[in-house]
Structure 1
Amino acid sequence: MTIVGRITKDAVVNTLKDDRKVVNFSIAINESYKPKGRERVKVTTFCNCSYWLNQKMAEHLKKGTLVEAAGRIYVAPYVGKDGTAKASLNCHVNSLKIHAWPKEVDVIGTATQNAFANDTGSDDDPF
């Protein structure tokens, strides 16, 4: 399955006990719909992602980057601190494409050009 969204914070490379490395990041998937005769409803779904194929990819996965991730999506149930049943949406990513970079600010403080000048962002981005 494929998901498209913006990264919520910079990716982190974690090392497991057996010295394997995994890139962990989270994607915010923004959607909206308009029920008949009512105001538009905006919905954001968060998906925790694990990417095992190339740890160097973490250098490019910064907060606000628009990505397309394809892989195996699953729900992981758990019990919250308050004792209630909860779940997280997760994805073991097999393929990752970067569609747009976040706007960067240089040392002087002026905004630099976005890698994709046509991407102006969206009002429903959670950043």
Structure 2
Amino acid sequence: MRNSVILIGRPGAEPETRTFNDNRIITRFSLAVNETHRNANHEQVKDTQWFNVVAWDKTAERVALAVKKGKRIAIDGALRNNEWTDSNGQRHQSTEIHLNNFILLDWGKEQND
């Protein structure tokens, strides 16, 4: 079995990059993926799912340079579940996609999905 995710979508904001004391680099961005389906009245409905994407080191550097808000990209990565307890003792969970590779799909004007 392999943990693999492939999505096509648009970043909702410019990627944010951070460098740690050990010189590791992380870049994060949110990715909107639109799906359309027909409801009970046969009307077309658009549903947007948001995903948190994380890139490390060389991939993080490439994302920071190339990925732009609203420009369509294809990504390949793996799901990672995170759990932590905050200072108030409240438990939290999140799921992220750890990016392996990406392809820029929009080079010109904005287009509809």
Shared fold per TM-score greater than 0.5 = yes
Counterpart of 2:15 (choices 11, 16, 22) is: 11
Q: Which runs of 5+ in 2 are unaligned?
A: none
The percent of aligned pairs where both chains have the same amino acid is 24
Counterpart of 2:55 (choices 28, 51, 54) is: 51
Counterpart of 2:36 (choices 22, 32, 39) is: 32
Question: Equivalent residue of 1:121, what SS?
Answer: coil
TM-score normalised over the length of structure 1: 0.67
The Cα offsets for residues 67-99 of structure 1, whole Å up to 9 and x where unpaired, read as 1110102444678xxxx9875441000011111
Counterpart of 1:91 (choices 77, 97, 102) is: 97
CA 85–5 in structure 1, closer or farther in 2 if over 3 Å, else same: farther
The Cα offsets for residues 6-41 of structure 1, whole Å up to 9 and x where unpaired, read as 010111111124221011111001111113544223
Q: Which runs of 5+ in 1 are unaligned?
A: 102-113, 123-127
RMSD of equivalent CA atoms: 2.8
Q: Relative to total residues, which structure has the larger strand share, 1 or 2?
A: 2
Measure the CA separation in 2 of the matches of 1:39 and 1:11. 35
Letter paired with 1:62: K
CA 38–67 in structure 1, closer or farther in 2 if over 3 Å, else same: same
Question: Equivalent residue of 1:18, what SS?
Answer: coil
Letter paired with 1:10: E
Counterpart of 2:75 (choices 69, 73, 79) is: 69
TM-score normalised over the length of structure 2: 0.74
Measure the CA separation in 2 of the matches of 1:37 and 1:75. 37
Letter paired with 1:93: L
Using CA pairs below 8 Å that are at least 6 residues apart, which structure has the higher relative contact order? 2
Q: Relative to total residues, which structure has the larger helix share, 1 or 2?
A: 2
C-alpha contact (below 8 Å) 1:70/1:94 kept by paired residues: yes
Measure the CA separation in 2 of the matches of 1:33 and 1:5. 17
Letter paired with 1:18: D
